[in-house]
Amino acid sequence: MLRRHRGGSDEPADERHDKPLRLFRQLVRSGQLPIYEPELCEHLGAAPARDIGRPTACADHLPTDEPVVHLRTCLTCGHVACCDSSQPRHATKHAHKTGHPVIQSAEVGETWRWCYPDELLG
C-alpha cells in the first residue's frame, strides 16, 4: 500500500537518491519533456514502455520499513518494488541483484523508464 510521506505530501522530503524521478521532474518543470523518443540505449530499446497495470504495494517491503514513496516495475520480470526515495530502495536492489536493467514508473500517468547500467531516462 502506498502511504503518504510525513507531513501529508506524496512528495519525498529529499529526492537526492532518486535520480530517475529527479530528472523526470526537471524535464516536466522546464517544459523540455520530449514528444519524441530520444536516442535510446540497447536496454531501453529492448524494453518499451507498456501498460503495467496499477500496482499498489512493494513486493519486498517489510512492516518495519519506512513508508513507500513511489513504485517501480521491472520490465524484465514484472517485479514491483519501491523507488530510491523510499528508504529500502528495493527497485534498485532488485536490478543489481538480478541484472534486470530497466524499470518503469508505476505511478498513475507516468510511463518513463530508467536504465540502470547506462543511467538513462527513456
**Can you give the pLDDT at residue 40?**
79
- List, for residues 52-82, the tens digit of each pLDDT value: 999 999 999 999 999 999 999 999 999 999 9
Pairing of strands 71-74, 102-105: antiparallel
**H helical segments located in the chain:** 19-30, 42-46, 90-98
Q: Where are the domains of the chain?
A: 41-121
Model confidence band, residue 18 (pLDDT cutoffs 50, 70, 90): confident
Architecture label for domain 41-121:
2-Layer Sandwich (3.30)
**Can you give the pLDDT at residue 28?**
77
| Exposed e or buried b per residue across 77-90, where buried means at least 16 C-beta atoms within 10 angstroms of its C-beta | eebbbbbbbbebbb
